[in-house]
Amino acid sequence: MQTSTYLNFLKRPVFAGYNIVSHDSSLLTIDVLLSSPLLDPNTSEKDATEYAYLQQLAEAISLSELCTSIKESALI
């Protein structure tokens, strides 16, 4: 699937937090935390559909066309 097609497919509300660190002129690290407003923070239930969507979104922003390497990807 082409990048633009893949990213257009993924359009749902999410919360995203980020931390940007510039190590030198050739390396920029961006840590991204994704969450969904549809996940209930007051329960331990995990909505499989929302977690699957967040996983797809994480994979989409990790495409080689957008970044050169992935240090770690985790879904909790």
The residue segments making up the domain with residue 32 are 3-61
Quote the pLDDT of residue 45.
Answer: 64
Does the residue 57 lie in any domain?
yes
Query: In the chain, how many domains are there?
Result: 1
Buried b (16+ CB within 10 A) or exposed e, 41-69: eeeeeeeeebeebbeebeeebeeeeeeee
Tell me how far apart the alpha carbons of residues 48 and 54 are, in angstroms, rounded to a whole number: 10
Residue-level pLDDT at 76: 52
As averages over each run of 10 residues, the pLDDT of the chain (76 residues) reads 53 84 82 82 73 84 71 58
pLDDT of residue 9: 56
**75 in a structural domain:** no
